[in-house]
Structures are given as structure tokens and as C-alpha cells.
Structure 1
Amino acid sequence: MLPHSLRQTIHYLHQSGKSNHEIARSLKISRNTIKKILEQGVDIPATERKVRNEKIELNFLRELFTRCRGNAVRIKEILKEENDIDIGYTTLKYAIQRAGLRAPLKRVGEYCFDPGHEMQHDTSPHWVLLENKKIKVQCASLVLGYSRKLFMQYYPCFTRFEAKTFLKTSIEFMGGSCKRCIIDNTSVILYAGSGFNAVVSPEMLTFARMYGFEFMAHRVNDPDRKE
């Protein structure tokens, strides 16, 4: 089963005018597979979304989901540590959705750009449990377009200092940056305005130029642009 990111790449190359032979040669995939994926569409067919590890019973999965408060990463860790079950994160995510424990995310739009052109940075408040006490922290993340890699860190607060520290560390983790970084309309990075009229603060503008990218804020009330 080919991952969604690769299926997306195949459709993008096809829409760009590439022949099946050219796509197959560049991605090292058979032309029959290319033809099949173009006929099926970008989304993985439901018939291929099968849990590969039948050892996970439904009731046990529900118990773990409640125990881990819906955190799939923690569920994966417990399955490995306590039950010696090694299951892929994507496979586990589909198992959770099929069990009705979490609704699948709906596609909200489609954006076409080349691999290596866009990365997305986001921050959101999270409540974490530390020493039996709930503490509100800021979760910062960075993901590259056409990639499954995600870098994430927690901070007690998130100012421009933390933003630069996080972006530097995440870019080093990814092995480089994309040309454009999509952000929300946060004053941590912006000096004034919003959306396409946003003005990036001089401090963050200089920082971005050092790493070869530029910030771009999504339109107001359009946070799904970053999904």
C-alpha cells in the first residue's frame, strides 16, 4: 500500500503533464501501479485500510484509548512496551477511526506546489499532566509538504526567542528548510496586518532569510490552510 504523500505526488506529476512512463521512471514504480493510483484517486481506498496486526482486539483498543486520553503515540508505545506489539502509527490511526473512537479528518481543500516548496509551522495550547498536576503549555510543530516527518516541542511560553529556537532546531532536524513557511496570524512572528497583507517583524524576517525561507500567513478565518 503506497502512502498518501506518494499518491499525491503521482497525481501532481500527472496534472503537470508528465506521462505514466516518466512518472514510473522518476519514482521507480511500475506503470501498472501508476495507472491504478490515477484511477483510484489520491485517497487510499477503504479496502486497503486493513489493520495488519490482528492481535489488537476492539475492547483492548478502547481500553487503551481511554487510558491514554486519545493519544495515539502513547497507545503505540504501550502496545510495544507492555504487549510486544509493534504496529505502525498510520495503521493504528486507521484502527482507531474504524473502531469509532475518533472521527476521520475531512479534506478541506487542495493546494498544489512542488516538493520542497512549502513547510507549515503551528502553535497551540495543550494541557499536559506533570506530577499529577495539569499544566498549560504551548505545543510548537513544523511539518514539510509531501513528507510524513513532523517535529514537535513543548514550551511553558512561546515568544520570538522560543520561536527562533524552535525553528532553528526543527530545520536542523529536517535537514533543511523549504522556500515558504505557512503560519497563522500570530504576533510572535508578525509585526502588523494579517493574511496576504501581513508584515513580518524585522527580527523574524532577518531570521528567515538566514535559513533561506520566507513566512506567509494564511487568510483570517482560514486556519485549515495549514492542514
Structure 2
Amino acid sequence: MKGVDTIARIRREHFVRGKSIKEIVRELHVSRNTVRKVLRTGATAFSYEREVQPLPRIGPWREALDGLLAGNEGKPARERLTLIRIFEELRSRGYEGSYDALRRYAKGWRRAQATMTAAAYVPLSFAPGEAYQFDWSHEIVLINGTTVSVRVAHVRLCHSRMLFVRAYPRETQEMVFDAHDRAFAFFKGCCTRGIYDNMKTAVDAIFVGKERAYNRRFLQMCSHYLVDPVACTPASGWEKGQVENQVGLVRERFFTPRLRVKSYDELNAWLLDQCITYAKGHPHPERREETIWHAFEAERPALVPYAGRFDGFHAVPASVSKTCLVRFDNNRYSVCASAVGRPVEVRAYAERIELRQDGRPVGSHPRCFGRDQTIFDPWHYVPVLARKPGALRNGAPFKDWVLPTSLDRVRSKLAGVTDGDRQMVDILTSVLSDGLPAVDAACAEALHQGVHSADVILNILARRREPAAPVTIITPDALRLRHAPSADCSRYDLLRRSP
């Protein structure tokens, strides 16, 4: 089974560079059937079940180890620690890997440090549609009266210098996917190469030189948009200097003085307008006779056409409590009552949460970025009400439940009836089979007739569900009347006088 990096390269060689199947087979040393499968299915990954999953020990400790090595290199030669001492220090912090793994990592780290050049730079030039640069920044804004540190995604086209920025609550992988999709939709295309730093949402491991072990989901996104990702050398921001400069420009022009907005939607709409205004009002840094917007319009035909939205989610498994709740990101979300007792998959998008069980959706909610909050969908608990109708009055999911007008009026009238909870539960249960519009229309018809009983509403639903078939009587031609009969009442009188 080919990895997503090979699949991505096959797609780029065919769709971007226009190479034939035969050329791709000869260059990449893959079978013809594999290339055909990749091109015909349009898939960005082929999965299979692995029997043994490697678990590298040094990965979670990479940042701590980099800090120890960097601090050790900054000391005088007589005061530097040996690798054994560094290994013992890391072990005291909880590292469970081997010394050999640390030694190999340290050797590669030193080699990477030795390859760093002096503070001299070479000006770069990019062809239309060749590359873009991506980065994050942290900004302070006032959202609905509260001071918030937002994460701003920056995308910059290297040729035209066109910029795109969007604010998010986090820097997680699903936010990376959403930022790329919105940027490419705005540009109406993307470049063939993307330049990144070594962010954890994209790079799993750093090797010598430019070799990287990219995240699987990140590679799938790049394959979807036909992008070839390139990561910078660690601590070498000048390799993506354009977007680094954009961070300072956006902070100075867009976020100073401190912005005051009501929501993220308002903030992002304002940022997009500012990007367009800046591009139309400022000249290109190299071609001063034209604006950035004009250069962007000229670059658009060279971009790879926008491939549509990538299904950019971050999936994690989760268990379902007996109260039909799933915990994710310090908050709780409700699922269908039928999902209790088995694990579900949480698919986190930038703006929503989807919950699936065995590939079947069991819940969907707008994403919440607070802490210790519970997001209910009352319809998830309706099947439970059939066994516990008393929970309708005091159940937490049903507090401030907004129902359609007619259904809400029926609920108010049944509140004063002895068995009103049971009748209301019967009406709500019918929504699962007949749909909310049909039940609301039945309630409206019952209220128009001056009744609000559950039996009447369910009877109306049954009649609408199974309308009476029209009766059509077909008379044979032999039995059809040729002349209409005439009325003769005297014949009736004769019958009365007969003995």
C-alpha cells in the first residue's frame, strides 16, 4: 500500500505537470495499476490495518531535548554536560526511551546546527503560481467586551504578494485546514508549492536537511490541493521572509489600535475587507507601476484551480456516558441515546463538532471554545422520555427548549393536565418518525379545532400519513343506460294498495 506522500506526488505529476502514466511509472518506480488507481479514484490515501504500530519514544520530548542541547552548546567547553548527563536529566523528567535514540538525535541536531550559514541572504524570485507562504501570529483583541488572544493565520502569494489573514481561537490542525481552504477559495486557486515552518500540526519529525516526516492528515490536504509542502530549516525565519514581514505589517495596520468586535465572524469579515483594501491601495514592492491587486489578478490564471473544500477534521475516539454526553476539548456534547455504551469518533472542525459511530452520524453541534460547558440537543433525549416522561419537566436538555409555535402552545396547554407529560412525550416521539413540520402542522390543526389531546394529534398524523384511496367504479359498456329513467310515483302507490 503506497503512502500519502507517493500518492500526492503521483497526482501532482499528472494533474499539474501533465505527465503520462508511463512517465510516472518510470520515474517513481511504481506499478501502472497503482498509478491508474490513484488517478481514477481521486483518493488522497489508501488505508489498511497495521499489525504493529511503532511508538517512537523521543518524539514527545523533542522540544525539551532541543532546549537542553541548545543551552549546553551555549556554555563554555569546560562546563558542558556529556550526553550521558543530558540523558540522565531527561530521564528524571519522565523520558523512557533509550540512550542510543538520544545520541542519534543529538548527532543530527549538531549536524543541523553546523549547516547554518552566516547572516547573509540571497534575494528570492518566484514565478506566478509557484509558491505561497504560511504562518501564525498571536494578536490581542476585544471580543464582546472581553480581552482575547486570537491566533491569526497568514497566507501570502510569493509572486504577487497578495495576502490573506483569518483569526481563530486555536492553532490546531482543523484550524490549519480551514485557513487553507478559505484562502484558496478567496484566491480561486493555489500554488504548486507551500512553504511552512516546522509547526507540529504539519511536521512529525525533522531529519537532516529538508527531509521531513509530515503529518498524515496534512499530507492528505496537500494532495487534495495538489500542493508540494516544503518546511524551513529550524529557527530560520528568513526562508519565509515574506509572510514574516506580513505578520508585522498586519499587526501594525490591522490590529493597532486594539480592535473591538462582537464575534469572530465580524472580525474575520473586517480582516478580509482590509486585505482587499490594502492590496488595491499599495504598489507591488518590485513593480512599483502596478498595485498588489493588479499583480494578483495577473497571477490568478497561473494558479492551480481550486479543488473544492477539503474535509478537514481532526478525529479522536471518545466514550459516551450514560447521560448521552461525550467529552471533548474540556466541554461536553450530547449524542443520540442509541449511541450509549459504545465508543464514538469525534470529528472536530474549525466551527463545528460531528460525532459518528460505526460511520453513522449520531450528533452535530456548533463548536464551543469555552471550558466545562455542556451543549445539548434535546432531540437526542426524546427516546429516553418514552421510559421516563417525568424528566420532561426538570431535564437539563429541555430547559429553554425552543419549539415551533403550535407545538409550544400544545406543550403549554398540556402542562396543566394530569398526564400532560405522558401525552407531550407521545407527541414528541412522533417527530422522530413523521418529522417536525408534519407534527407542528397537526398541532396547529388540533388547536384550530379547539383540542390539544395527544390522541387527536396522533390521529391527525395517522390520517395524513395514510390518506384514503379514492374509490373509482368502472361500469361495463353492456350495463350502461342508454336512456335516463323517468320518475313514476304512481308505481309506489300501487305497491301500497297491494294486499
Q: Name the TM-score, length of structure 2 as normaliser.
A: 0.23
Bigger Cα Rg: 2
**Greater RCO (CA < 8 Å, at least 6 residues apart):** 1
